[in-house]
Amino acid sequence: MTDLTQTAWQEQLENDSQAVIVDVRTEAEIAEGKIPNALEMDIYQPQEFMDKLQALDKTKNYYVYCRSGGRSAQACALMNQLGIENAYNLMGGFTDWTGDVVIP
C-alpha cells in the first residue's frame, strides 16, 4: 500500500491507463458526492466488500479513498493481502478532495 497526497494521487491517476478508482464509503456518504467513475464498495459491509475485492483484476492499479483516509488505508492493506500489489490510498480522503465531484 502506498499513501499518496491529493496532488500525487491525482497526477498518478491521470497518467495511469490501468487505473481504477474505488470509493469505500457508505451509501449515505456517497450520496453527498463522489469522485467520477469510482466503484462503490462499502467497507462496512464486510462480506459484500470482500466478495467485490476478490473479483477485482489483480493486474490493475487501484486508487482508493474514503472520507478521511483511514478506511481506505485498511482497504488497501486488505487488497495487498489478496494479491493486489498496486493499491494507492488517498491521504485526507474525500474531505480534502479538490478535484471533480459528481452527485450520484
Q: Which three three-digit cell numbers place residue 31?
A: 450520496
Query: Average pLDDT, stretch 13-30?
Result: 96
Q: Binning pLDDT at 50, 70 and 90, where does residue 26 land?
A: very high
pLDDT of residue 38 exceeding 90, the answer is yes
Q: Are 72 and 24 in contact (CB under 8 A)?
A: yes
| Amino acid of residue 41 | M
Residue (of 90, 77, 1, 86) closest to 38 by Cα position: 90
Q: Are 93 and 3 in contact (CB under 8 A)?
A: no
CA within 13 Å, CB half, 52? 15
Report d(CA 93, CA 74) in Å as an integer.
13
Q: Domains plus CATH for the chain?
A: 2-96 (3.40.250.10)
Percent above pLDDT 90 for the chain: 97
Q: Are 89 and 73 in contact (CB under 8 A)?
A: yes
Q: Binning pLDDT at 50, 70 and 90, where does residue 1 land?
A: confident
Q: How far is CA 43 from the centre of its chain?
A: 10
Q: What is the model's pTM?
A: 0.96
Q: Binning pLDDT at 50, 70 and 90, where does residue 22 land?
A: very high
| Amino acid of residue 33 | G
- Model pLDDT for residues 41-71, shown as the tens digit of each residue: 999 999 999 999 999 999 999 999 999 999 9
